[in-house]
Structure 1
Amino acid sequence: MQNRLREMRQRASLTQEDLALRTGVTRQALSAIEKGAVIPNTATALTLAQIFHCRVEDLFFLDERPSFHMPGMRVGDPLILARIAGQTVVHAGRQEGNRRLDAVLPNARVSEVRGAHIRVMNAAYGAHPDEVFLVAGCDSALGLWVQAINLAAGKTVAYWINCDNQTARAYLAEKRVHAVATHFGQGLSFDEDKEVKARLQFTRYRLGFGFAGERFAPPDAERIKAMRLVNRPRGAGARQALDRWSHENDAHVDTLAGYDVELPSHAHVAEAVACRFADLGVMPEPEAYACNLDFVSLSEDSSVLSFAVDLVHPVVSHALQTLASDRFLATLKISGPYDVSTLGRMLT
């Protein structure tokens, strides 16, 4: 049994002693009721409801909130809560590799921790879970899309879960996001993702080595073998591109300095090179552009949006209206060398 007794008492500027006296119970008994350790009898519950001019069910209620397995969380930690395909999903509001989330408001917080399980409560200022749109993937253009959706809505209703291809596909299969954007420029097959409702073309760009041109000549195979790398996690498209390049150029990954240094996002890789933590890394050309790095292309790449729910779903439909907007297209064009000529095209 849960209650709002403490909240109501504080709102009325009453101490526990004041309320206990008016209710006809001891302060210790009232404290135990507030903590949920004791369920009040009918007379006490009715008296408390009369004092606060509310119904008994407004003060006392069964806790029907679902619990979620999320180890390492603490009470008060920010969360992103959404309803997708009839289920409630939750993601951490602070995510390694996604600093863009620090600038948006979470719509829920951890209210209770029991071991590795948590219970959540909606934030008073946050969007209702039914309004929230979640998209996952590593393309930084997703962050720009989410910003455009939130600007159009006038509040935070969309969130970007920044993760690699493999994690994004797992989220899609589990319906933990509405959509994902994954690399399809490296021979990956659409058939790998089951239960996809629709696919749309997102951004197109080049994938390759970003490096500081004022310190290095354009890298060739022999020069790269002597340079310090930073990498992306296993399952990331950029890492697959580096592995393919290594195979084609007889450069065993064990001989590449920094191959095992994994950073959580494309932006982190570009910034590590720009700050001289590393000499080069594989990244989309727009990330190299954002950090004023030189760039050597390895391949043409493409991000494809795959949807776990129908495109007519209200949340998705609103997001797609923004995707096709002139403002979003203009933002992409000034944010780096993206090819947006086929953005939003339906794929089979």
Structure 2
Amino acid sequence: MKTESRLRNNLREVRTRLGMSQQDVAALAGVTRQTISGVESDLYTPSAAVAMKIARALGCRVEDLFWFEEDAPEIEAAPARGAPAGSSLRVALGRVGGRWVAHPLIGDQAFRTEMIPADGVGTLAPGASSMRVRLLDDLETVTGTVILAGCSPATSLWVRAAQRWNPGLRVHWVFANSTAGLEALRRGEVHAAGVHLHDPDTGEHNVPFVRRALPDGTVVLVNLGTWEEGLLVQAGNPLSIRSAADLAARGVRIVNREPGAGSRGVLEHALRREGVPTAAVSGFDDVVTGHLEVAQAVASGRAHAGVSTAAVAAAYGLGFVPLLQVRYDIAIPKEYLDEAPVRQLLSMLNHRRFRAQLEALGGYDIRRTGDIVATVEPAAQG
């Protein structure tokens, strides 16, 4: 006998995004607050009438709030040329000439580099600390922008989902490693910064680095996910690289990340643990600035190895030698949490559609995604 499908919902996420309490939704829907609480906690399955009332109260469709766990639709699609057989693929779908076509999201096709439209133009005078900018967009549109620094490739999935689900939201992603992102946060240039820094002496993730970079204010750390960092190696691992110690072998050449990058710290710690001096590693000073650049260097044969994440290795079809699980957090000064665009962006971390994208990407532990994992208070005075 077929088991009954379980009705799931994302009522809490939608309600939170709209800044509404359970009582607010209950009053608009004409139901009790206990009904809303029961639905959110999966203790109560609403009738069709109640589901419609709740959806109407939130200004959305019933299917945007409720779905059956086993009711994911399927379609037939023709694979685009070059799609590899025999493995699970992330794809982009389009209806072309009356049929669905699936383009595999692998290698360079998994990422996009594009020209970013300007919000304005201006000139900074020599020695000046401010400048006049002529807007090229509406002031109201520009005002709803969150500026986010980070280096995780998954950031683009998060940003795209957030902007799609919140039509008035704009996110400008500034590419920066963890240390540079915290420095931009300290300078007041961004709302939030992605951080994946590990202290090998204490085993702590991110907190001591945030405390040092931002000693004067309260900073909240919201988890994006925990990822596996390690050595990207060529497909099939032809040089049999099994640990950081193997990077000192004759004929092995690496690329490295810039100082301040979390991945560089992972490599340096792994080499110290193995007793390998950095001078013994060919290419240690050959620096690239980004996870994708590491993957491209290894995939092209410019290097035999470099540190990045399991998700990036999978996207490029490379081998992966794990070194360390690292927590990737979003650092946000507490005062920014009251801003509606920031709340909208953060609420997307708990949205089922973004979490499904992160799971499909692979290499991420999402059990704490969207959780506040730490609150870093100002350093004690005296």
TM-score by length of 1: 0.66
Contact 1:107 1:126 (8 Å CA) reproduced:
no
2:148 corresponds to 1:135: yes
| 2:122 aligned partner | 111
296 and 180 in structure 1: CA distance in 2 versus 1, 3 angstrom threshold: same
- The 5 A counterparts of 1:29-40 are none
Q: Which of 179-188 and 335-344 deviates more?
A: 179-188
| 1:341 aligned partner | 367
339 and 184 in structure 1: CA distance in 2 versus 1, 3 angstrom threshold: same
Contact 2:254 2:282 (8 Å CA) reproduced:
yes
Structure 2: gaps of 5 or more residues: 1-110, 375-382
Q: Which of 294-303 and 183-192 deviates more?
A: 183-192
| 2:326 aligned partner | 301
- The 5 A counterparts of 1:168-317 are 168-186=181-199, 187=204, 188=206, 189=208, 190-192=210-212, 193-194=214-215, 195-214=217-236, 215-226=238-249, 227-308=252-333, 309-317=335-343
Q: Shift of the alpha carbon at 1:162?
A: 1.3
The one-letter code sitting in structure 2 at the alignment partner of 1:121 is R
**What RMSD over aligned residues (CA atoms) do the two structures have, in Å?**
2.3
Distance 1:288 1:241 in 2: 16
Distance 1:345 1:171 in 2: 23
Q: Shift of the alpha carbon at 1:156?
A: 7.0
Q: Shift of the alpha carbon at 1:222?
A: 4.7
2:347 corresponds to 1:321: yes
| 1:163 aligned partner | 176
Distance 1:341 1:170 in 2: 28
Q: Shift of the alpha carbon at 1:221?
A: 4.6
155 and 314 in structure 1: CA distance in 2 versus 1, 3 angstrom threshold: closer
Q: Shift of the alpha carbon at 1:333?
A: 1.2
218 and 112 in structure 1: CA distance in 2 versus 1, 3 angstrom threshold: closer
Asked which structure has the greater CA Rg, the reply is 1
Distance 1:310 1:112 in 2: 29
Contact 1:107 1:127 (8 Å CA) reproduced:
no
- The 5 A counterparts of 1:63-74 are none
Contact 1:106 1:126 (8 Å CA) reproduced:
no
Q: Shift of the alpha carbon at 1:251?
A: 1.6
Q: Shift of the alpha carbon at 1:132?
A: 0.5
Contact 1:134 1:161 (8 Å CA) reproduced:
yes
Structure 1: gaps of 5 or more residues: 1-98
Secondary structure in 2 matching 1:102: coil
| 2:23 aligned partner | none
Aligned residues: 249
Q: Shift of the alpha carbon at 1:258?
A: 0.9
Identity %: 24
Q: Shift of the alpha carbon at 1:314?
A: 0.9
Distance 1:163 1:264 in 2: 9
